[in-house]
Structure 1
Amino acid sequence: MKTLTLAAAVLGAATLLTGCGGDDDSGNGGGSAGDSSFTDQSAKEIADTAREAMAGLESVRVDGSITSDGQEIALDLAVSTAGECAGTVSIGGASAELLGTDGTAWFKPSDEFWTAQAGEQAQTIIDLVAGRWVVMPADDDSFGEFCNLNSLLEELVDSDDEGSYEKGDVSEIDGTEAIAITNTDQEDGPSVGHVQVDGDHYLLKVERTEGDDQGSITFSDFNEEVPVEVPAEEDIVDLNQLGS
């Protein structure tokens, strides 16, 4: 069976969208950005505040899709610092459900996923799995890394990103006011981060609408409980058995 590369593909593509971070302080451009004390700050100050807020999260839901190398990569996942996760990930329309808690991760791929990942062995594996959850080995991070919020945010909110930043307008993201911060100095095209204006200044959305790798990721359900229901024993199959 091929190495499961979906997780790396999603995370690697998602980091291309990052628009908050870096050390440049050139961000006083853009349009009207409201009149609160927060939106009056420089783009770098707003970006730094958002990054600190995201770093302090205990859980969050990450939802969106990105086109990378001609393939759509998508995820809809709730994840926590306690190692819990629940949701779906997909690439090129081939999806897999994902659950994780207490250091164990399970995934339930669609038949299309197995066909894309397992090649000639796909039908054999589909028959063996029979719609059950596959438990991931403890040393396999292909999907388990999705259950680590800190690792996920390191990829999605890159604190080492450098560039030129500009403030944009205040708009509503799912009913919440957010100010746009644009990174204009990226090889693959500008990316925009939308930072919550009131309360905790979370990053609500990152997006890229120009260049080859376009898409958007939203963040929501901040510090809410991750809904993980451990599969029943009879609904689980060990991945090591598939290899044999």
Structure 2
Amino acid sequence: MTTLLEIDGLNAWYGASHVLHGVSLRIGEGEIVALAGRNGSGRSTLAKALMGLVHAQGVANFRGVSMLGKRPYAIARTGVGYVPEQRDVFPTLSVRENLQLGMKRGGSRFTISDAEQLFPVLQERAAVKAGRLSGGEQQMLALARTLMGDPSFVIVDEPTEGLAPQVVVQVSSCLRNLRERGVAILLIEQRMSIARELATRVAVMGHGTIVFDDTPAALAANERVISEWLSVGG
């Protein structure tokens, strides 16, 4: 499998606070890697470091080219999509306008029609301002808008947090559709059931570094890692 993203010895800071401590991880073309860990383990910081949103040092190469030191829009233009935990839709613009803003110049494999087939509610609410959508609808819109940029790699941070079960099913279906289209995904997700269903590998973070990286089945059989790094109160 061709390596798409290479992270090695990555450190990151919020001001004087040192959060990532030598993170190393590889993601191949079309691969879904779930990033698990307790709150505060550094998972979202890793996403922000890759997108140029926090100060970072080390190696973070996408298709062999360093992502470090670049502005987020420049990273996005290389084929990297990012769906943050806060969703960050444009609240005063309509659903359709949000999707149009995400469209890649020169065309994309993903169209607004694709987005509306994945999430029919976006077609039903096309003229509604994004700020009036429910949390689940905003999550669908954030995912769909990212697709408009025609990414080959997407970082998705906690896509199912706080969502109703039927919306979780739709979000999971969208991620599965991306995988089928050959898009690689770094999936930051607390629900291990989703990680087991979608991911080829699970990487576990603890104290700002990777403490486990193997298949979902290997993680399920590793009681020490589950107890020490995943279980609440473990």
TM-score for the superposition, normalised by structure 1: 0.22
Structure with the bigger percentage of helix: 2
Report which of the two structures shows the higher radius of gyration computed on alpha carbons.
1
Structure with the bigger percentage of strand: 1
